[in-house]
Amino acid sequence: MTLLEIGAIVLVTAGAVFFLAGTVGVLRFPDAPTRLHAVTKADNLGLGLLALGLALLADSPSTVVKLLLIWVIALAGSATACQLIANAYQREEQQVTPDA
């Protein structure tokens, strides 16, 4: 096993731990804003570590670039989604809708 492979295993494992933390947060935290915090921060860090780990195994520079691009796009998407959901939740709370 090469040094690169060991590095990949360490990074991917660390990423998986963050994914687990995100899932536990989504299930265990008390309300939507705290759950959002868990899913957005932990999962995206997990994805970043995973992408980095896989980049060590990549066979070409273009694959490395693609992996990092995917992570950056996922970051942009989920940061935006987090804002949108938090905003929608806040409005719902203010209105005290009966079906909530």
Residue 68 touches another protein, criterion: CB under 8 A: no
Q: How far apart are CA 25 and CA 58, in angstroms?
A: 31
To the nearest 10°, the Cα dihedral for 15, 20, 24, 27? 100
Q: Is 21 left (phi over 0), alpha (psi -120 to 50) or beta?
A: alpha
Residue 11 touches another protein, criterion: CB under 8 A: no
Contacting residues toward another protein, per CB under 8 A: 1, 5, 8-9, 12-13, 15-16, 19-20, 22-23, 26-27, 32, 35-36, 39-40, 43-44, 46-47, 50-51, 54, 57, 63, 66-67, 69-71, 73-74, 76-78, 80-89, 91-92, 95, 100
